[in-house]
A and B are shown apart, each in its own frame.
Chain A
Amino acid sequence: MRVNISDLAAGAIFTAFGLYFAITAYTGLSIGTAFMMGPGYFPLIIGIGLVVFGLVIAAKAFGRTSEPFTWPPLTSVLMVAATPVVFGLTVRGLGFGPATALAAFVASLASREASWRFRLLLTAGLTLFCLAIFRFALNLPLPIIGHWLS
């Protein structure tokens, strides 16, 4: 049987989120009445709505073919996703300067086309640029070198 993968997957995602919001609202929050709505009332409606939309979208997937997907290389996705995380994990400990350099380097790894020379130059340039803007122009109150290093 032919199935449109995009619609099926989109429907599943919406249904899953809808179930999460509806069930959490129903079990964990007071619903109240239409006159005096509790914190769970509106979320419950929205959750149910999401489930309905999700199921209809998924149901319409059957009987239709899918179009092929093109995905970016997995390393690129991972490095892009890792950049904010690396910065978040190190900004308190290493300080603003090294955390920025590390994040810039991780981001530069996401590109397949960049050479190592390019990546190092970009890391250095981007670190200086961000230091200039955030630390000196905008006066972000963050130590450049963190307590892990001093």
Chain B
Amino acid sequence: MEFIDLLMLGFSHSLTPTNLFYCLVGALLGTLIGVLPGVGPTATIAMLLPITFSLPPLAALVMLAGIYYGAQYGGSTTAILLNVPGEATAAVTAIDGHQMAKNGRPGPALAIAALGSFFAGTIGTLLIAILALPLAALALKFGAPEYFSLMVLALVTSVALAHGSLLKAFAMIFLGLAFGMIGTDVYTGAQRFTFGNLQLADGVSIVALAVGTFGVSEILRNMESRQAERRLTAKVQGLLPSRDELRRSIGPVLRGTFLGSLLGVLPGGGPLLASFGSYSMEKNISRHPETFGKGAVEGIAGPESANNAGAQTSFIPMLTLGIPANPVLALLLGAMILQGIQPGPNVAVRNPDIFWGLITSMWIGNVMLVVLNLPLIGIWVRLLSIPYKALFPTILVFSSIGTFSVTGNVFDLYSIVFFGLLAYLLIKLGCEPAPFILGFILGPIMEETLRRAMILSNGDPLIFVQRPISATLLAFSAIAVLFVVLPMISNRRADIFVED
């Protein structure tokens, strides 16, 4: 069977000592930053992106992917034990997880979170493996108009599923598209928006943009208030959940995995929306909704499965279509480009070793996480005592050196400051940075496909609605916008993000 052969090919690459090592490093680093509040996976991957430049392509991607899903595991640990969600995705886990810990069952809460995550991660990885080839084959039939409409759909859904002002999110996409155009025009060689500066001829450095937008802005945000001291409230003794707890977890884990897998594929979806969505779903269908918030195991099992499933399946559009579902995937796409791999449906055909190696490594990483995490909980909790005043200088200096090391271009260091201050200001003004980086990454491809489509149609924009696939994709985009604009639905959208 071809499918099994491909998986075997993948394992033959992901099980080499080098790649196993980087998988472990990524998973451990991911857990570490997942545990530490104020340090997110996007900033970490931005910071480490330059370092991976010197690694072989597969090792680089395996490590960066490990950081992403590792953070989903780590975030729940401190949410449960200390009521400090290390990641935004673990915020809902803290509600019932911490109550369970207070009720004297921290061990089972951690075990359920880890096992649910592992189950969801396995299903998520399997889904990628099954869906990747058919989707890539479909995408290979796409012409320029279809590709353009697909990117419109991706950007629109990423905005529709994000929270906050729709207008501001659209404006951020356009700002990202605009910054993506800086540099040399590929068709004519014209210099665009470079101020005659040769160092901008290759465009804005994605590493500098990411480090500034996600690293520096995050540091500034954390400096607004003094960091509170954290105290461990419960000692972890037994890990084994009771039979009743296990039985009550099965349904939420299955539903969470399903919901997470679905939301993960959608641009702008991903783990955050998945965990919030799963929590409100479990609360709505529960026969005892009053137990939620008081230590209901369903409130841990569902969201924790959902966020890990979402983290895995968000790789599907990135690997098969070259479309990042969220900023982390945008950076992974950037890592592929840095490594000289052209993202898109061709990756599976041209680089099957990397494609299948990465997919299988994600399952291996999930195994490592579930095996390593529970015994190491003591260490993770102790790491929380690292003060932020030591952490942020490390992040700043490390990413400065890293960014400089990619091109040896001092200008990129000044770009970090520019994007850091701009992003921080915009965040303060209620504009989320995620659509900005998606626009930046997709901008050049969008422009190119638009130009090719127009040549194809002799300059007639109607080509986008005359070709059936393209028209369908645009219709979906319109529906997505309508969904958000209609007040009744948008009110409900806001509800998902309200914690009680």
Question: Which residues in A have some Cβ–Cβ distance to B below 8 Å?
Answer: 6-7, 9-10, 13-14, 17-18, 21, 24-25, 29-30, 33-43, 46-47, 49-50, 53-54, 56-57, 60, 69-73, 76-77, 80-81, 83-85, 87-89, 91-92, 96, 100, 103-104, 107-108, 110-111, 113-114, 118, 122, 126, 129-130, 133-134, 138-140
Q: Which of B170, B429, B447 contacts A42 (CB 8 A)?
A: B447
Which residues of chain A are near B185, meaning CB under 8 Å? Answer: 39
Answer yes or no: B420 CB below 8 A from chain A CBs: yes
Give the distance to chain A from B491, nearest Cβ to Cβ, in Å: 18
**7 sampled A-B residue pairs with Cβ under 8 A:** A34-B454, A47-B178, A81-B216, A88-B410, A104-B397, A108-B393, A110-B392
Give the distance to chain A from B182, nearest Cβ to Cβ, in Å: 9
Per-residue CB contact flags for chain B residues 360-394 toward chain A (1 = under 8 Å, else 0) read 00000000000000000000000000011110111
Contact assessment for A24 and B193 in the assembled complex, using a CB-CB cutoff below 8 Å? yes
Contact assessment for A88 and B397 in the assembled complex, using a CB-CB cutoff below 8 Å? no
Give the complex CA separation of A25 and B182 in angstroms: 11
Give the distance to chain B from A35, nearest Cβ to Cβ, in Å: 3
Contact assessment for A138 and B54 in the assembled complex, using a CB-CB cutoff below 8 Å? yes
Give the distance to chain B from A75, nearest Cβ to Cβ, in Å: 10
Give the complex CA separation of A57 and B454 in angstroms: 31
Q: Which of A54, A87, A113, A134 contacts B226 (CB 8 A)?
A: A113
Q: Which of B223, B414, B429 contacts A88 (CB 8 A)?
A: B414
Which residues of chain A are near B175, meaning CB under 8 Å? Answer: 14, 17, 50
Give the complex CA separation of A10 and B471 in angstroms: 33
Contact assessment for A87 and B447 in the assembled complex, using a CB-CB cutoff below 8 Å? no
Residue of A nearest to B430 (CB): A6
Which residues of chain B are near A83, meaning CB under 8 Å? Answer: 393, 396-397, 400
Besides the known contacts A7-B430, A18-B178, A104-B397, 12 further A-B residue pairs in the complex with CB atoms under 8 A apart? A6-B428, A13-B425, A14-B171, A24-B193, A42-B450, A46-B178, A70-B224, A87-B400, A96-B401, A113-B387, A114-B389, A133-B398
* Residues 110-168 (chain B) with a chain A CB within 8 angstroms: 165, 167-168
Answer yes or no: B348 CB below 8 A from chain A CBs: no
Q: Which of A35, A71, A76, A84 contacts B416 (CB 8 A)?
A: A84
Question: How large, as a class, is the contact surface on chain B?
Answer: 35 or more
Answer yes or no: B220 CB below 8 A from chain A CBs: yes
The A contact surface, by secondary structure, is: helix
Answer yes or no: B458 CB below 8 A from chain A CBs: yes
Give the distance to chain A from B253, nearest Cβ to Cβ, in Å: 39
Which residues of chain B are near A130, meaning CB under 8 Å? Answer: 397-398, 401
Give the complex CA separation of A38 and B181 in angstroms: 13
Contact assessment for B396 and A43 in the assembled complex, using a CB-CB cutoff below 8 Å? no
Give the complex CA separation of A145 and B224 in angstroms: 37
Give the complex CA separation of A25 and B431 in angstroms: 25
Contact assessment for A126 and B393 in the assembled complex, using a CB-CB cutoff below 8 Å? yes
Give the distance to chain B from A119, nearest Cβ to Cβ, in Å: 9
Contacts across chains A and B counted by CB atoms under 8 Å: 186
Contact assessment for A87 and B181 in the assembled complex, using a CB-CB cutoff below 8 Å? no
* Residues 166-197 (chain B) with a chain A CB within 8 angstroms: 167-168, 170-171, 174-175, 177-178, 181, 185, 187-188, 190, 192-193
Q: Which of B171, B174, B389, B455 contacts A113 (CB 8 A)?
A: B389
Q: Which of A43, A81, A85 contacts B193 (CB 8 A)?
A: A43
Which residues of chain A are near B403, meaning CB under 8 Å? Answer: 84
Give the distance to chain A from B267, nearest Cβ to Cβ, in Å: 19
Contacts A39-B192, A80-B220, A87-B400; is A54 near B178 (CB within 8 Å)?
Answer: no
Answer yes or no: B234 CB below 8 A from chain A CBs: no
Q: Which of A39, A41, A107 contacts B397 (CB 8 A)?
A: A107
Give the distance to chain A from B180, nearest Cβ to Cβ, in Å: 9
Contact assessment for B168 and A84 in the assembled complex, using a CB-CB cutoff below 8 Å? no
Per-residue CB contact flags for chain B residues 424-435 toward chain A (1 = under 8 Å, else 0) read 011011110000
Contact assessment for B190 and A21 in the assembled complex, using a CB-CB cutoff below 8 Å? no
Contacts A92-B410, A110-B392, A140-B405; is A46 near B454 (CB within 8 Å)?
Answer: no
Q: Which of B225, B404, B425, B430 contacts A87 (CB 8 A)?
A: B404
Give the complex CA separation of A33 and B461 in angstroms: 12
Which residues of chain B are near A80, meaning CB under 8 Å? Answer: 216, 219-220, 223, 392, 396, 420
Contact assessment for B459 and A35 in the assembled complex, using a CB-CB cutoff below 8 Å? yes
Which residues of chain B are near A72, meaning CB under 8 Å? Answer: 220, 223-224
Give the complex CA separation of A69 and B380 in angstroms: 34
Answer yes or no: B246 CB below 8 A from chain A CBs: no
Contact assessment for A70 and B450 in the assembled complex, using a CB-CB cutoff below 8 Å? no
Residue of A nearest to B422 (CB): A13
Contact assessment for A88 and B220 in the assembled complex, using a CB-CB cutoff below 8 Å? no
Answer yes or no: B29 CB below 8 A from chain A CBs: no
Contact assessment for B389 and A77 in the assembled complex, using a CB-CB cutoff below 8 Å? no
Contacts A42-B447, A43-B181, A46-B177; is A70 near B225 (CB within 8 Å)?
Answer: yes
Contact assessment for B389 and A71 in the assembled complex, using a CB-CB cutoff below 8 Å? no
